[in-house]
Amino acid sequence: MIGNISTGSIAFQPLPAISVDYLVVAGGAGGGSGTGAGGGAGGMRCTVTATGGGGSLESALSLYKAFNYSVTIGAGGAGGVFSTSRGANGNDSIFSTITSTGGGGGGSEAVVQDGGNGGSGGGSSPGVTNGTSGTGTANQGYAGGLGVTYSAGAPSYGGGAGGGASAVGANGSSSAGGNGGNGVATSITGSSVTYAGGGGGGAYSTSGAPGNGGTGGGGAGSEADVNGIAGSANTGGGGGGGGTGSIRATGGAGGSGIVILRYADTLTITIGAGLTGSTSGASGGYKRTTITAGTGNVSWA
């Protein structure tokens, strides 16, 4: 604020803005039960190297010192349980005005075959008639794959995979679960790390091959009576679909999301109560803050 005593006028000057790059990855979804489908990866939005869904790189935010900006880390969704539900959708992650959408749950055999819509979509599970795979969100992730249509007494068959930040989940086949869609690599931390891979589809019996999880934390599907593999924590990876033998196994849980912030090394961040995070030393003109859990505020000085 600038005052002029002689005229009594007061002129206001705008606050100087600071530039903050971000990676915001939502929680991945749970895989489906039975010969279950893979869960979709959490949506990925990023301003460094690449972003999700094949979109154009996002722009850094112009923020202000001494203001509070909200952060929420989305939890992964639970795996589906037979006769109860498909895999649960992941939860959204938020930084200021940026929201990444939780992944879509993987379909469960003979329960809810359809995959859920989300940041990346969940796959559909096998059935006498095909379910519908979930859709992804524009500029965040891709759709899930389809489970194979099977006949009663078939020796094997596989569930569709969850979509990832860079690719659609693969369809299941008569002998294998689909492979999860791959995630996207970013160098926001100073080294290349891949996030938001989709979960692999499960398989029926030991003669079927389960699908692999997508790169970037996607959990693999399972065979026979084994539960699907969980997505990796703080990657937004989708959970793998469960396998079927004498029982219909539970789907793997989705991996939690993450928020990473990059800003000038002349700034100091305060991570508020309710958040779990850490800040790296200055490198290349930047500091980086990684937030792995919770809900709260951050501010800069």
55-98 confidence digits (pLDDT tens): 999 999 999 999 999 999 999 999 999 878 899 999 999 999 99
CA distance 298 to 95: 9
pLDDT band at 7 (very low <50, low <70, confident <90, very high): very low
Task: Write the pLDDT tens digit of every residue in 222-257.
Answer: 998 999 999 999 999 999 999 988 888 999 999 999
Taking alpha carbons only, the member of 93, 209, 202 closest to residue 141 is 93
Three-state DSSP state, 251: coil
Q: What radius of gyration do the chain's Cα atoms show?
A: 21
The DSSP H or E segment spanning 17 is: strand 17-25
CA distance 276 to 287: 17
Taking alpha carbons only, the member of 43, 98, 140, 103 closest to residue 298 is 98
Whose structure tokens read 């569709």? Answer: 160
Three-state DSSP state, 53: helix
More confident residue, 6 or 268: 268
Total-model pTM: 0.94
Average pLDDT value for residue range 214-224: 96
Say yes or no to pLDDT of 284 above 50: yes
Say yes or no to pLDDT of 9 above 60: no
Going from the C-alpha of 190 to that of each of 184, 193, 226, 260, 284, the distances in angstroms are 15, 9, 38, 11, 8
More confident residue, 13 or 23: 23
Beta bridge pairs of residue 261: 22, 289
What pLDDT was estimated at residue 155? Answer: 76
Task: Write the pLDDT tens digit of every residue in 152-189.
Answer: 667 788 999 999 999 999 999 999 999 999 999 999 99
Question: Which span out of 8-22, 126-140, 222-236 was modeled with the highest average pLDDT?
Answer: 222-236
What pLDDT was estimated at residue 270? Answer: 98
CA distance 118 to 141: 8
Average pLDDT value for residue range 192-212: 94
Average pLDDT value for residue range 188-202: 98
What pLDDT was estimated at residue 5? Answer: 33
pLDDT band at 13 (very low <50, low <70, confident <90, very high): low
Task: Write the pLDDT tens digit of every residue in 23-39.
Answer: 999 999 999 998 999 99
Say yes or no to pLDDT of 12 above 60: no
